[in-house]
Amino acid sequence: MLLMTATDLQLKAKLFRGFGDASRLSILETLLPGPLTVGEIVERTRLTQPNASNHLACLRDCGLVTSQQAGRYVTYSLSDPRVADMLRLASSVLADVARGVYECTRVDRRESASA
């Protein structure tokens, strides 16, 4: 097995931070069935339009979603079928380890300390 370099690990951690925010994750999950406009994403996620747009820009910059201008509307979709695969795999893993994740206090504590 090849050891990952520090840069590789940092990039992988940055990728997972894209999935690590509840609002961004909600947007990604909402896009699983197919492309949506910002308005449709706002309606389905119940995020405010500015908040959704901010997270969509982050997801686009990270390469997790793509956007396409269609007249007055911008349509967003998952950038790669493997993003959907990761979301489904995360749900599958979570089904098996949900209790541990629910009871885990170290991750939240660490995130609060670094903020």
Domain boundaries, the chain: 13-114
For 3-59, how does the pLDDT look when each residue is reduced to its tens digit (9 = 90+)? 788 888 999 988 998 899 999 999 999 999 999 999 999 999 999 999 999 999 999
pLDDT band at 70 (very low <50, low <70, confident <90, very high): confident
CATH architecture designation of domain 13-114: Orthogonal Bundle (1.10)
SS3 letters for 42-67?
A: HHHHCCCHHHHHHHHHHHHHCCCEEE
Contacts of 51 (CB under 8 A, 6+ apart): 23
Q: What is the pLDDT of residue 6?
A: 86
Q: What span, in angstroms and rounded, lies between the C-alpha atoms of 4 and 57?
A: 29
Q: What span, in angstroms and rounded, lies between the C-alpha atoms of 23 and 31?
A: 13
1, pLDDT greater than 60: no
Contacts of 86 (CB under 8 A, 6+ apart): 19
Task: Read off φ and ψ for residue 101, nearest 5 degrees.
Answer: -65, -45
Q: What is the pLDDT of residue 86?
A: 95
Contacts of 13 (CB under 8 A, 6+ apart): none
Reference 25, options 48, 41, 3, 37; nearest CA is: 41
pTM of the model: 0.82
Asked if residue 25 lies in contact with residue 62, where contact means CB atoms within 8 angstroms, the answer is no
